Amino acid sequence: MPIIRFRTIVVAAVVCVLIAGASTMSMAQAYKGADGCKMCHQFKNKPIVEGHAKTAHAKALQDAAKNPAAIVAVFEANAPIKKEQIKYVLGTGRVYQGYIGADMKTLPAEWNVKEKKWVATSAVDAAKQCIGCHVTGYDAAKATWAEDGVRCEACHGPGMAHASSGDKTKILNPKSLAPDKKAMLCGQCHSKGTDTTKTYAFPVNYKAGEDLSKYFIAANSATAGRNQQYSELKGSKHFANGVVCVTCHEPHGAGTTEPFQLRKPIIDTCLECHAVKDMKTHAPSAPAGSTCATCHMPGARHTFKKPGA
């Protein structure tokens, strides 16, 4: 009898240890969701929580059934796709908007916001070509994700363990990262290339704070294009001098009304470090209304070259 009881205790203890072990492991990798972060941080970090909710990041992918107003396209009788086909909406519609159908393929037309017209595209497998950069906590093997849009944990890593304890050692504060790792955090999405198996158009299982080069083969395109700011910046004197994305951009859009979450208006941003006295002396040919970006970031390119160089 005592022996049996002892065994029961041992077995129970082993089971407990196993369960505890399994749950700490999964908790370290588990996502809480932005509403869970808000619970505590809306008091101490109100600007962060409120700022982030308004960013394009938070709305980078939206569920059409939950938020039909996310669709900015106009559907006339001859529209190449039907509104009812849309399951997910990609992008807030600043320049264009893309759509995904129930089969997880992109629908064969995108909406050009400025010209208010449809542009035909080829349908691709969005699970491999798109979604990973427009959501938080993407599981490529299952084609499922923790949360729509680029939310807190896309940049801070899975936060369940931190959220259950409030223990600040269990969450990444990117402030502590070296500049190159800080830029990689943004580069996980603001880059063109493939995962290491060349199956996905984004890094698979990369977590904020890690070395992106272990997860991603950069295309390093020499021509202008969308979402390649990290590749462009990497070759610049800025990057070599530790000037990275969050030097100029506020990651949460907190306390700024400038476009693109810039911390300050463009000219003020540049004059923080550059002693260019005034535009007339520096660039006599500058058209009225020019900013430093007019000549040094044509097409919003992030190579920051001298014109002609």
Select the residue interacting with ligand HEC from 168, 198, 214, 280 (CB under 6 A).
168
Of residues 194-233, those binding ligand HEC (CB under 6 A): 201-202, 226-227, 229-230, 233
C-alpha span between 114 and 258 (Å, rounded): 20
C-alpha span between 151 and 212 (Å, rounded): 19
CB burial class (10 A; 0-12, 13-18, 19+) of residue 243?
middle
Of residues 70-109, those binding ligand HEC (CB under 6 A): 90-98, 106
The one-letter code for the residue type at 27 is: M
Select the residue interacting with ligand HEC from 71, 217, 218, 267 (CB under 6 A).
267
Question: Cα dist. 246→111, 187, 243, 252 in Å?
Answer: 30, 12, 8, 10
156 lies in the binding site for ligand HEC (CB under 6 A): yes
Of the pair 56, 71, the CB lying nearest ligand HEC is at: 56
Contact 195, 211 (CB under 8 A): no
Interacting span for ligand HEC (CB under 6 A) from 11-19, 73-81, 139-147, 275-283? 275-283
What's the closest the beta carbon of residue 300 comes to ligand HEC, in angstroms? 4
CA 124 to chain centre: 21
Cα angle 160, 45, 66; round to 5: 60
Of residues 227-266, those binding ligand HEC (CB under 6 A): 227, 229-230, 233, 237-238, 241, 243-249, 251-252, 260-262, 266
Q: By C-alpha distance, which of 201, 184, 55, 41 is closest to 132? A: 201
What's the closest the beta carbon of residue 40 comes to ligand HEC, in angstroms? 3
39 lies in the binding site for ligand HEC (CB under 6 A): yes
- The mark string for 1-30 relative to ligand HEC (x by CB under 6 A, - otherwise) is ------------------------------
Select the residue interacting with ligand HEC from 118, 190, 195, 212 (CB under 6 A).
190
Question: To which residue do tokens 């390093």 refer?
Answer: 220
Size of the site for ligand HEC (CB under 6 A): 105
Interacting span for ligand HEC (CB under 6 A) from 4-12, 14-22, 73-81, 158-166? 158-166
Residue 67 in tokens: 């938020």
300 lies in the binding site for ligand HEC (CB under 6 A): yes
Q: By C-alpha distance, which of 232, 189, 182 is closest to 210? A: 182
Of the pair 75, 217, the CB lying nearest ligand HEC is at: 217
Buried b (16+ CB within 10 A) or exposed e, 61-91: bbebeeeeebbebeeeeeeebeeeebbbbbb
Of the pair 204, 302, the CB lying nearest ligand HEC is at: 302
Residue with the shortest CB distance to ligand HEC: 159
178 lies in the binding site for ligand HEC (CB under 6 A): no
Of residues 125-154, those binding ligand HEC (CB under 6 A): 126, 129-130, 133-134, 150-154
